[in-house]
Amino acid sequence: MSYDKVEVPEDGEAITLADEETGELIVPSNPIVPIIHGDGIGTDVGPAAQRVLDAAAEATGRSIAWMRVYAGESAREKYDENLPADTVSAIRTHRVAIKGPLTTPVGAGFRSLNVALRKTLDMYANVRPTYYLEGVPSPVTNPEKMDMVTFRENTEDVYAGIEWEAGTEEVERVREFVEGEMGVDDIIHDGPVGIGIKPITEFGSKRLIREAIEYALANDRDSVTLVHKGNIMKFTEGAFRDWGYELAADEYGEEVITEDELWDEYDGDQPEGTVVVKDRIADNMLQQVLTRTDEYDVVATMNLNGDYFSDAAGAQIGGLGIAPGINRGHGRALAEPVHGSAPKYAGEDKVNPTAMILSGREMLEYLGWSDAADLVRDAVEETIASGKVTYDLHRQIEGGEKLATSEFADAVVDKIDELA
């Protein structure tokens, strides 16, 4: 495979697909991994994460051959476009990649590049683990109760971007169709209106929920909670819920039971090796994640709910500066931190790279390198617990040592060397 303006590293091998049906990968000990540093603070946190991931790979007898690719501001400088074909092709071909934050304008300009990458590569599950690291200041009393993984559907819902702008001929045609042919009266106010469509399909819902259930079974998790607003949006979010229960019954047999079955048939005593599927209304779930944190384990939800919910959960363990994420598809993954690009801090070597580093940890897990992934988490946690932190955490703790972005990465690498 040749590219216009990027080079394929000669010291690495491509990850390949072992089984088309299952999406299982063949991962060499020196895989080629595309990386997008990202916009804004991506220029700082991207290289910092690379150094840490290199150290973890080396400590476990492996190496990563990084393939630098571009999106957003760096792509505009190099290609005069936001998402060049080189980048999409590199990630599609090499199957596992990592990216930093990319800036999305509010209200105007191009649509989200993050969403574009997920949709173009059919990365349908945005997986966001939320767990507490010792030493991180938190606004809640018992942040250690949080150990949750959110599976957020990536390709549908209002994030599909099917909308029409107020004042255009297109939006008036949609209004005429809705009010005239569909007979929906007295809903849309007179005057300018923007209209969007919220698609939720059986196919998209089931493959996302299947991914969440498979994860729960493989990782000894107790439950999968379907989060929805089906009491109001009965035929979209309500359908998501119904399709989830249908999938559980049709495909998993006795491995998966419902919450009703747990109490009606087992008197609340969950059989060993099973996963309980339950559901919660979205607004109630935002309350319960605070008041009953440890009752929830794996969450499966739609795109917009997942964005809100995972950010709220992240606040309980110290904020988005330490919140990792990974987008997963069939035999393909793109790791990325949850936080944005914070352009005012770009190039200052100041911000916290933990979210990017821990997103890299999720990438290592996806590669099957659990030993390297564990090293990354342990080293990050022990570094923070020792008081060696970036400015955002330093201002909240006493007696710590304030480090630059690069210095924090160096401290984590030193800790990996100690632990290995």
Query: Does 110 lie in the same domain as 48?
Result: yes
Boundary residue ending a domain (316, 341, 359): 316
Q: Give domain status of residue 173, yes or no.
A: yes
- Residue range 146-158: mean pLDDT, rounded: 96
Could you report the per-residue pLDDT of 87-101, keeping only the tens digit for each?
Answer: 999 999 999 999 999
Least confident piece of the model among 57-61, 175-179, 366-370, 377-381: 175-179
- Residue range 145-173: mean pLDDT, rounded: 94
Domain that holds residue 191: 163-196
Residue 114: pLDDT band by 50, 70, 90 thresholds?
confident
Q: Would you say 303 is a known binding-site residue?
A: no
Q: Give domain status of residue 9, yes or no.
A: yes
Query: Does 45 lie in the same domain as 98?
Result: yes
* Model confidence at 110: pLDDT above 60: no
Taking a C-beta distance cutoff of 8 angstroms, is the pair 148, 297 a contact?
A: yes
Q: Would you say 132 is a known binding-site residue?
A: no
Query: Does 117 lie in the same domain as 88?
Result: yes
Q: 3-class SS at 107?
A: coil
> Which residues, including other chains, have CB under 8 Å from residue 183's CB and lie 6 or more apart?
none
Q: Would you say 402 is a known binding-site residue?
A: no
Q: Give domain status of residue 7, yes or no.
A: yes
pLDDT at position 161 is 84
Taking a C-beta distance cutoff of 8 angstroms, is the pair 371, 60 a contact?
A: yes
* Model confidence at 202: pLDDT above 60: yes
* Model confidence at 108: pLDDT above 60: no
Q: Which residue matches tokens 């990438």? A: 363
Q: Give domain status of residue 158, yes or no.
A: no
Query: Does 215 lie in the same domain as 308?
Result: yes
pLDDT at position 52 is 98
Q: Would you say 84 is a known binding-site residue?
A: no
Distance CA 336, CA 323 (A): 10
Is 0.75 surpassed by the pTM of this model? Answer: yes
Q: Give domain status of residue 157, yes or no.
A: no
Residue 111: pLDDT band by 50, 70, 90 thresholds?
low
- Comparing 266 with 115, the larger pLDDT belongs to 266
Q: Would you say 252 is a known binding-site residue?
A: no
Query: Does 286 lie in the same domain as 147?
Result: yes
Q: Give domain status of residue 13, yes or no.
A: yes
Query: Does 129 lie in the same domain as 3?
Result: yes
Query: Does 375 lie in the same domain as 350?
Result: yes
Q: Would you say 345 is a known binding-site residue?
A: yes
Q: For the chain, how many helices (H) and strands (E)?
A: 14, 17
Q: Give domain status of residue 273, yes or no.
A: yes
pLDDT at position 105 is 58
Distance CA 361, CA 374 (A): 8
Q: Give domain status of residue 156, yes or no.
A: no
* CATH number reported for the structural domain that contains residue 11 in this entry: 3.40.718.10
- Residue range 157-175: mean pLDDT, rounded: 93
Give the pairing of strands 163-164 and 195-196.
antiparallel
Boundary residue ending a domain (267, 292, 316): 316
Query: Does 132 lie in the same domain as 3?
Result: yes
* Model confidence at 340: pLDDT above 90: no
Per-residue tokens: 110: 């191009």
Task: Count structural domains, the chain.
Answer: 3
- Residue range 109-123: mean pLDDT, rounded: 81
Query: Does 48 lie in the same domain as 78?
Result: yes
Distance CA 186, CA 20 (A): 50
Distance CA 406, CA 45 (A): 8
Give the pairing of strands 223-228 and 275-281.
parallel
Query: Does 292 lie in the same domain as 392?
Result: no
List residues with catalytic annotation. Answer: 159, 229, 283, 307
